[in-house]
Amino acid sequence: MIITKPKPMAQVMRCLAGIQRVFLVGCGECATTCMTGGAEQIQEMKAKLEAEGKEVVGSFVGESDCHILDMKRQVRLNKEAADKAEAFLVLSCGAGVQTFSEILDKPVYAANDTMFLGNIQRFGVFAERCSLCGDCVLNETGGICPVTNCPKGLLNGPCGGMNKGMCEVNQERECAWVMIYKRLLLLNQLDKMKTPLAAKNYATSNKPHSLTLERKKGGAA
Ligand code: SF4
Ligand code: SF4
């Protein structure tokens, strides 16, 4: 899921300077789980804006704000209030915010900072495991990503700074390559470490990415 944290309120208020009527949008997916854009946070934001003298003319929590067609439909369903708004404030990740920039001809502002693709360790605790590099090496590294778990993204063993198994960049974390070694040992796949990984194809990281699924006969993707 996409991990977000709320922007400082002073920053949000700076964006809304000179704007009176605001429409709020939350997101029912990641931002709800991160508690940055669910129904509760929409109500909290409404109260904060009203305390600052703004008028919240409408709001909804989209099922997934990154679904452009569905958000178009949601805005149509809220047309009267949306037309009154001078600006939209979106409590989602940056992708969700840009859905609304794409479909609205009025200012759209982000209430959150978007941080990383995260796994949920337990309620309210998220950890980055994948940097979305587009050229995955997990099959060679025991299912542990060196691109993400090593701050230097090293592909073929530890750097010289590794100290007693710990990472030189963050000494509270085990070196990614120690983790990979232990995992391959457990799986009886240590031989994999004898084959160097090729330099990564960072062309796969060129942005912006897009993907169109090919449709098979019969209509299924
Ligand atoms: S190598 Fe790491 S960053 Fe790249 S796709 Fe695999 S898990 Fe994600
Ligand atoms: S100590 Fe290990 S995880 Fe840390 S930067 Fe060096 S190779 Fe990467």
pLDDT range class, residue 206, cuts 50, 70, 90 = confident
Q: Which residue from 115, 81, 80 is spatially nearest to 95, judged by alpha carbons?
A: 115
Query: 201: which residues sit within 8 A by CB, 6+ positions away?
Result: 134, 135
The pLDDT tens digits of the residues spanning 17-30 come to 999 999 999 999 99
Lay out the sheet containing 55-62: strands in order across: 55-62, 21-27, 87-91, 108-110
| Ligand 2: nearest atom to the Cα of 168 | 1
When pLDDT is cut at 50, 70 and 90, the band that residue 215 belongs to is confident
| Ligand 1 atom nearest residue 137's Cα | 1
> Among candidates 57, 82, 67, which has minimal Cα distance to 28?
67
Quote the CA–CA distance of 140 and 135 in Å, as a whole number. 12
Q: Can you tell me whether residue 126 is helix, strand or coil?
A: strand
At 62-112, the pLDDT tens digits run: 999 999 999 999 999 999 999 999 999 999 999 999 999 999 999 999 999
The pLDDT value given to residue 205: 79
DSSP string, 5-68: EEPPHHHHHHHTTT--EEEEEEESSHHHHTTSSSHHHHHHHHHHHHHTT-EEEEEEEES-TT-H
Cβ–ligand 2 contact at 120 (below 6 Å): no
pTM of the model: 0.92
For residue 45, the model assigns a pLDDT of: 98
Residue for token digits 């710990």?
A: 166
Taking CA atoms only, the protein residue closest to ligand 2 atom 4 is 167
User: How many angstroms separate the CA atoms of 62 and 43, rounded?
Assistant: 15
* pLDDT average, residue stretch 3-16: 98
Report which of 133, 131, 135, 130 is spatially closest to residue 198, judged by C-alpha positions: 135
Residue 160, both tokens: 């010289």
- Chain center to CA of 33: 12
Mutate to test the pocket of ligand 2, among 152, 163, 170, 180 (most ligand atoms within 8 A of CB): 152
Residue 202 is predicted with a pLDDT of 80
Residues in the ligand 1 pocket, defined by CB under 6 Å:
130-133, 136-138, 145, 147-148
Which fold is adopted by the domain 2-116?
Rossmann fold (3.40.50)
CA of 70 to the centre of ligand 1 (A): 30
- Boundaries of every domain in the chain: 2-116, 134-195
pLDDT at 203: 83
